Amino acid sequence: MTVRPILTAPDPRLQAVSTDVETVTDEIRTLVDDMADSMYAADGIGLAAIQIGVASRVLVIDLDQKEGKKNPIGYINPKIIWASEETAVFEEGCLSVPEIWDDVERPARIKCEYLDRDGKKQTLEADGLLATCLQHEMDHLNGVLFIDHLSRLKKSMAVRKLTKAKKLKETA
C-alpha cells in the first residue's frame, strides 16, 4: 500500500508525453497498485501515471467502488482504435486540477486496445462514464489536461485560479 503525491497544475511535468511500456514487469504491476492506492486516497475514479510523476503510458480506473469493494483496472499502453461521430458532454474534474469542474464534449463511444496487468492484449468497447474517463486519462498520457479543451477565456481563468492556489499553498 503506497500512496504517492499527486501533481497539481500548473506543473510542467503534467505536459510531458508519456512513453510506452516495453514489458509488463512486476515493477509495472507495483506502479499500477501504487496508482490505485493514490487514486483511492484522493477519492478519484481514475488516475494516469504522470499524475504521480511517472511518464509511462499507464492508467488505472475503478468505476465500481461501492461499500469499500475495490476493483481497480490497469490499462497499459492504451490506444483508441475507434471513436463514434456521436459525442457526449460530461462535467469533468481532475485530481491534478483541484476545485475546477466544467463540461467537456468527447466521442460518446470508443474502442480501446491495451495490455492488462499480465501483459495480455485486451480490447474494450466503452460508453458513458467509462468512455469519458478513459479519454480523460489518455489525454494525460499526451500531456493534455481537461482545461485544455475549454474556451481560451475559461482556460485562462482556470490557470489563474490554480496558480493563485498553488502560491498560497507554497507560502502557507
Contact footprint for ligand K2U (CB under 6 A): 43-47, 90, 92-96, 132-133, 136-137, 140
Q: Give me the least distance between CB of 96 and ligand K2U, in Å please.
A: 6
Per the DSSP assignment, residues forming a β-bridge with 66 are: 69
State the DSSP H helix or E strand holding residue 87, giving kind and residue range, or none if neither.
strand 87-94
* Cell numbers found for residue 82: 475507434
Whether 78 and 113 have beta carbons less than 8 Å apart is answered as: yes
Q: By CB under 5 A, is residue 73 in contact with Zn ion?
A: no
* Binding partner selected for residue 62 from ligand K2U, Zn ion, none, CB under the kind-specific 5 to 8 Å limit: none
* Binding partner selected for residue 85 from Zn ion, ligand K2U, none, CB under the kind-specific 5 to 8 Å limit: none
Q: By CB under 5 A, is residue 94 in contact with Zn ion?
A: yes
Q: Between 44 and 107, name the residue whose CB sits nearer to ligand K2U.
A: 44
* Cell numbers found for residue 63: 468505476
Q: Between 22 and 43, name the residue whose CB sits nearer to ligand K2U.
A: 43
Can you tell me the distance from the alpha carbon of 29 to that of 94, in angstroms, rounded to the nearest whole number?
23
Q: CA quadruple 111, 29, 55, 143: dihedral positive or negative?
A: positive
Which residue in the shown chain puts its C-beta closest to Zn ion?
Answer: 94
* Binding partner selected for residue 44 from Zn ion, ligand K2U, none, CB under the kind-specific 5 to 8 Å limit: ligand K2U
How many amino acids of this chain bind Zn ion (CB under 5 A)?
Answer: 1
Among 42, 76, 43, which residue's Cα sits nearest to residue 59?
76
Q: Please list, in sequence order, all residues whose beta carbon lies within 8 angstroms of the beta carbon of residue 163, skipping any fewer than 6 positions away.
A: 10
Whether residue 137 lies in the annotated active site: yes
Among 39, 49, 45, which residue's Cα sits nearest to residue 17?
49
Q: Give me the least distance between CB of 28 and ligand K2U, in Å please.
A: 19
* Binding partner selected for residue 93 from Zn ion, ligand K2U, none, CB under the kind-specific 5 to 8 Å limit: ligand K2U
Return residues touching Zn ion (CB under 5 A): 94
The residues annotated as belonging to the active site are 137
